Amino acid sequence: MDADSFLDAVEQSKATPLSRLASNNLLVALTDADLEVPVVLRVAANSENAARNTFQEWAESETNDEVREAFEHVAAQEDDHYERVVSEMDDTDFDPVDGGAMHSYLRGRDDTVERLAAGLVGRGLVSVRSHTQIVSFFVNEADEQRADLFRDLKRETQEEIDLGLELLDDVCEGDEDWQRAQMVAEYVIQLAYDDYADSLRGMGLDPKPVC
């Protein structure tokens, strides 16, 4: 296996959860159906805050020098994302929420392969779908400035996925490493989907698309 076949395997295995996470119900779930600009911005800021904290923790403990530098870069980028989102908020007293099921799981990874696969690839695949929905939200709000902001964040998150794939090609030494990478990347996607589905069900909504 290599990075390309790994990504294909993850996307094929989790095609249904990824497809549902790409639906416009994602923001309904993330905002508890409160689709107002301040709420969407708070949700986005909390996500960026959790990501920067996760990658900062990893940057401090990672033993592979090249990967540690990558985590430092991503932590700095996620911090920039957080600051850019917060700058769009009117709430000067905003206090971000940290954690969540996905990031709790990520912070429990201490293996380089698992961190790259789960944190950069699995989380990244979820995050680009979140950004896509936020872009669409602001397009519908006729707010092109904020739509462009989240287009930038989406592009940079895709670059994080690409970085993770490149590094996995370097550090995976055989099928066992690739299988472990696939397992944790898929698990992160499933965690995100389960949160999404549970939130919708809690509002009496079906997470399955209506055909």
- The pLDDT confidence band at residue 73, using thresholds 50, 70 and 90, is very high
Summarize pLDDT for 139-172 with one digit per residue, the tens.
999 999 999 999 999 999 999 999 999 999 999 9
In a domain, 211, yes or no: no
For residue 92, the model assigns a pLDDT of 80
Q: DSSP characters for 21-48?
A: HTSTHHHHHHTTT---HHHHHHHHHHHH
In a domain, 71, yes or no: yes
For residue 103, the model assigns a pLDDT of 96
In a domain, 210, yes or no: no
What CATH number should be reported for the domain holding residue 176? 1.20.910.10
Rg (CA), the chain: 17
Summarize pLDDT for 26-38 with one digit per residue, the tens.
999 999 999 999 9
CA 11 to chain centre: 15
pTM (predicted TM-score):
0.94
- How many domains is the chain partitioned into structurally? 1
CA angle 85, 11, 163 (to 5 degrees): 55
In a domain, 209, yes or no: no
- The pLDDT confidence band at residue 211, using thresholds 50, 70 and 90, is very low
- Which range of residues forms the domain containing residue 152? 3-202
In a domain, 208, yes or no: no
